[in-house]
């Protein structure tokens, strides 16, 4: 009888011990699962922070680019302020009324959103090509694959001012004959400068 009691006690002890072990394993699995979930959440947060960091870096680069463009624009505006005599005087060019209109129209079409200086720079490139190639305003503007002449826009008052200034001798082009709105033109041998959305070269 005593032997049976001892066996029963030992069996119960073993069962209780096994139950305790199983419970501990279950608790460990729960802790591991919770930790794994937390790790996944942290990894997601890290990925989001990296994405935000990348976006901020892009924004910083855009701001730097805009600042550089503004610096260049200020330099050209300062050039105008420092040399006001360039703004007035008789025309240095014998443009016909048709040529004057074509110069203003091409400036409006190519640089309508580039401000007064941007329009003048486009006119400068036309004049630079005229002097280089011995061509007329019309021949330069309508040369194949050069300027955007399709649906040329009617000039605004800013174009009229730009024409007066360019005709009086304003030239900030540094001899540019090409410009492009997505980087330097592949045809230009010398990269010169960027003004707002246009890169100028010759």
Model confidence over 149-179: pLDDT tens digits?
877 889 999 999 999 989 988 999 999 999 9
pLDDT band at 51 (very low <50, low <70, confident <90, very high): confident
Report how far apart, in Å, the C-alpha atoms of 190 and of each of 86, 118, 167, 193, 197 are. 26, 19, 25, 10, 18
Alpha carbon distance 150, 156 (integer Å): 18
| Token reading at 132 | 């280089």
CB 198 within 8 A of CB 117: no
pLDDT band at 86 (very low <50, low <70, confident <90, very high): low
Name the more confident of 114 and 35. Answer: 114
Supply the mean pLDDT for the chain.
84
Model confidence over 183-201: pLDDT tens digits?
887 888 899 999 999 999 9
In the chain, domain spans = 1-82, 86-201
Is 88 a residue whose pLDDT tops 70?
no
The three-state secondary structure class of 7 is helix
Q: Return the number of other C-beta atoms located less than 10 Å from residue 59's C-beta.
A: 10
Alpha carbon distance 93, 90 (integer Å): 9
| Token reading at 45 | 């947060």
């Amino acid at each position: 009888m005593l032997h049976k009691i001892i066996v029963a006690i030992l069996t119960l002890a073993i069962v209780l011990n096994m139950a305790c072990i199983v419970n501990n394993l279950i608790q460990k699995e729960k802790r591991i699962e919770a930790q794994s979930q937390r790790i996944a959440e942290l990894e997601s947060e890290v990925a989001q922070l990296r994405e935000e960091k990348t976006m901020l870096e892009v924004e910083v680069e855009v701001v730097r680019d805009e600042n550089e463009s503004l610096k260049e624009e200020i330099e050209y505006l300062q050039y105008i302020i420092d040399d006001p005599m360039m703004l007035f005087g008789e025309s240095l060019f014998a443009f016909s009324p048709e040529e004057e209109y074509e110069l203003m129209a091409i400036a409006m079409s190519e640089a309508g959103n580039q401000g007064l200086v941007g329009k003048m720079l486009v006119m400068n490139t036309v004049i630079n090509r005229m002097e280089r190639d011995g061509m007329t305003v019309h021949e330069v503007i309508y040369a194949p694959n050069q300027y955007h002449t399709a649906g040329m826009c009617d000039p605004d008052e800013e174009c009229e001012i730009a024409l007066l200034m360019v005709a009086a001798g304003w030239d900030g082009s540094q001899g540019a004959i090409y410009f492009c709105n997505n980087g330097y033109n592949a045809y230009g041998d010398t990269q010169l400068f960027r003004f707002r959305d246009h890169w100028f070269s010759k």
